[in-house]
Amino acid sequence: MRRPRGTGWGGTFKGHGLAAERGAGSLVIPGEVRGRETAERVRAGLPYRSLHEVASAWGLNPHAVAEILRIPERTLARRRQSGRLRTDESDRLARLARVAALAESVFGDREKASRWLQAGNPALGGEAPLDRLDTDPGSREVEAVLQRIAHGILD
């Protein structure tokens, strides 16, 4: 399957962890890494600030992002103190960043992508794409919808 350029799928990541480059800006999960190194950083746990950087980049409330990552409020407070997310939380954050970058690539604009990610979608049974990003199968579903949109296949 042909993947849109600039989505960070196997390309170069900038910053300190996983940023998917797009035009002049970058999607933030800090780091300059490639392939296996990306996985190693996710396994080690991304910095807590990555959650806020992704939320800010996409105009999302950090607490809404924590909800997508399935991090309860008290746990979120502990992560803030420790300065690091767990592996599973980091994996879900990386997934959110990857799908958001793909949406931006498909729609050509971060604001449009953000609106699309937060709005109910008929192709997803009326659910917002963001609500599907807490699992890998849900993320793949969202990516498939984005690929159909990119190729002009509308349901």
Cβ contacts of residue 114 below 8 Å, gap of 6+? 58, 59, 60, 100, 103
Per-residue pLDDT at 106: 96
* 21: phi then psi, degrees, rounded to nearest 5: -75, 140
* 117 alpha-carbon distance from chain centroid: 10
Cβ contacts of residue 63 below 8 Å, gap of 6+? 73, 76
Per-residue pLDDT at 37: 80
Per-residue pLDDT at 34: 53
* 150 alpha-carbon distance from chain centroid: 18
Contact 103, 129 (CB under 8 A): yes
Contact 35, 10 (CB under 8 A): yes
What percent of the chain stands above pLDDT 90? 66
Closest by Cα among 119, 82, 4 to 71: 82
63 bridge partner residues: none
Per-residue pLDDT at 155: 60
Measure the CA–CA gap between 33 and 114, rounded to whole angstroms: 25
- pLDDT tens across 70-113, in order? 999 999 999 999 999 999 999 999 999 999 999 999 999 999 99
What is the per-residue burial (b if ≥16 Cβ within 10 Å, else e) of 117-153? Answer: bbeebebbeeeebbbbbeeeebbebbbebbbebbeee
Per-residue pLDDT at 154: 73
In the chain, which residues have pLDDT < 70? 1-35, 155
Per-residue pLDDT at 35: 67
